[in-house]
Amino acid sequence: MLVIRPIEAADYEALYSCAVESGHGFTSLPIDKGLLERRIARAQAAFAKQDVATPGDESYLFVMEDTETGEIAGVSGIEAAVGLTEAFWHYRLGKVVHHSEKLNIHNTLETLSLCNDYTGVSELCTLFLREPYRHNLNGRTLSRFRMLFLAQFKQRFSDWVIAEMRGVCDDDGASPFWDWLEEHFFSMDFPKADYLSGIGDKTFIAELMPRYPIYTSLLPEKARAVIGKVHDNTRPALKLLESEGFRFRGFVDIFDAGPTVEAEVQNLRSVRNSVIKQVTLVEKPVDAENATPHIICNTQIESFRAAQVRHVDGSDQVQLSTEQADKLNLSEGDTVRIVAL
């Protein structure tokens, strides 16, 4: 059984492996021992906080564990509110009009403006599923369970949530958009800039990033072509978020120009469709013909658990085997939040 739970200190080696396997452009998982250990510590502190009334700098990091082998299948996270302790940068796509009535010339030009518009919103982040587990709706489960967490503990998060999607780069870490920035402003390659940002050393952005709007028409064609585009490996994740109600509103990453998508939490499909039900224990898991895959989670913080189970739509109760209930920290009569996959 694959169970999603809060990350623990003992998961460091698995988290490091995920960082290595995720490759270039995966900013939230840099290959840095100290940073990964701090991320685990921050997550443990966030889950331990009680009576949280408003979102702060809490960082919730989860792992998907194969309970039969103890192997970590993937990782997934939520930031309660970004940009509160350090600036959170984006480029905002906009337009300016150059018009001369006398000469009958009218030009509408696209611009990129540096901004901090998403300060204070929540963020879905650090989603990575290891190759052997990319089947059986595991990717959807590892992403969408976070919507249940947002719904169950809404006071811990902003009314709006974003997700930064990995932009276009090659296997060596070269980014067409960054190549232009590197040539004119930064004098460092994309992997180094991405790494510095990932470990939280972002002062160089304010120091070296162009401060005035950039006319995209002045960029080389290969840089313009990737603005708002995602890495091939990120397309399934983007499609899933779009099905939840996330939309691109013209904000892109300052390094690779990958799109950032946004949504109002209450309008997310999994939030709207999730319901609270009671648990009833049975001798063996549900295997009826009309039982379909669902995501289920308990309603606890420190002992949070989520997993994929089969459930009959319309049933007032969720039937679980004793083994399933034990792995989800549930007992007869406990309440759970559930949504169809």
With 60 as the cut, is the pLDDT of residue 25 above it? no
Q: Enumerate the active-site residues.
A: 231
Strands 275-282 and 317-321: parallel
Binned at pLDDT 50, 70 and 90, residue 30 comes out as confident
**C-alpha 242 chain-centroid distance:** 13
The domains of the chain, with CATH numbers, are 2-91+115-273 (3.40.630.30), 274-341 (2.40.40.20)
Q: Which residues are CB-neighbours of 181 under 8 A, at least 6 positions away?
A: 209, 255
Per-residue pLDDT of 60-110, as tens digits, reads 999 999 999 999 999 999 999 999 988 888 999 999 999 888 899 999 999
With 80 as the cut, is the pLDDT of residue 230 above it? yes
Question: Would you say the pTM of this structure is higher than 0.75?
Answer: yes
- DSSP H stretches of helix in the chain: 12-22, 33-48, 138-152, 176-181, 190-198, 203-208, 221-224, 235-244, 269-273, 322-327
Residue 327 near residue 336 (C-beta atoms within 8 A): no
